[in-house]
Amino acid sequence: MHRAVCPGSFDPVTNGHLDIVERAAGLFDEVVVAVGVNASKNRLFSADERIAMLTEACAGWDNVRVDGFTGLLTDFCLAHDVHAIVKGLRAVSDFDYELQMAQMNSSLAPIETVFVPTSPEWSFLASSLVKEVATFGGDVSGLVPDFVLERLTARLAEREQG
Ligand code: PNS
């Protein structure tokens, strides 16, 4: 069984993330989408909300499941018999940091990192930009699943009122 992990914060999941998950699911027997739930003050959605959105978004793929993790990604991989980390690369600028993390992770455990080039249509996409554009009323439909757009719009409206 070749099992891989697609890790991330997914705050919220975008179509760019789902492109990488789908393609990883074609390469590996099983893919675990691992939502990092380490404490951070800057999240728009809670860990449970992010996991719920991913679970809904990945429901159509039989060999994909969603889980949360705290602590080191390599510890999660060892505990779940995962031997590969799949990361999307949007641009050369992603590469420096991703290479550093891949090398650090492989120094911690015998786990390979596999880089998958993001499809060109999503190469500009980042959760942080989606949130910023949506905050100022920009149209982000088509960049995230429709149900994520609904929750994003609702959360930003709550924030505006609160
Ligand atoms: O979507 P993000 O924010 O780029 O995801 C980053 C994530 C969660 C994949 C990364 O921060 C991570 O792996 N965190 C777990 C802690 C860890 O293992 N740190 C050492 C990385 S070399």
Structure confidence by residue, pLDDT tens digits, 62-102:
999 999 999 999 999 999 999 999 999 999 999 999 999 99
- What distances in angstroms separate CA 35 from CA 40, 93, 109, 158, one per listed residue? 13, 23, 19, 24
Residue 39 Cα, ligand 1 centroid: separation in angstroms?
Answer: 12
Contact, 65 vs 32, CB < 8 A?
yes
Rounded CA gap, 44 and 156, in Å? 9
- Our answer on whether the CB atom of 73 is closer than 6 Å to any ligand 1 atom is yes
Residue 79 Cβ < 6 Å to ligand 1: no
Residues forming the active site: 17, 41, 90, 127
pLDDT digits (tens, 9 = 90+) for 120-129: 999 999 999 9
Structure token digits, residue 75: 């510890």
Write the secondary structure of 36-67 as one string of H (helix), E (strand) and C (coil). ECCCCCCCCCCHHHHHHHHHHHCCCCCCEEEE
β-strands 3-8, 84-89: how paired?
A: parallel
Give the residue, by CA position, lying nearest to ligand 1 atom 20: 72
pTM value surpassing 0.75: yes
What pLDDT, on the 0 to 100 scale, is given for residue 160? Answer: 86
Q: Is 16 in the pocket of ligand 1 (CB under 6 A)?
A: no
Name the residue of 99, 101, 103 whose CB sits within 8 Å of the most ligand 1 atoms, as the mutation to test its pocket.
101
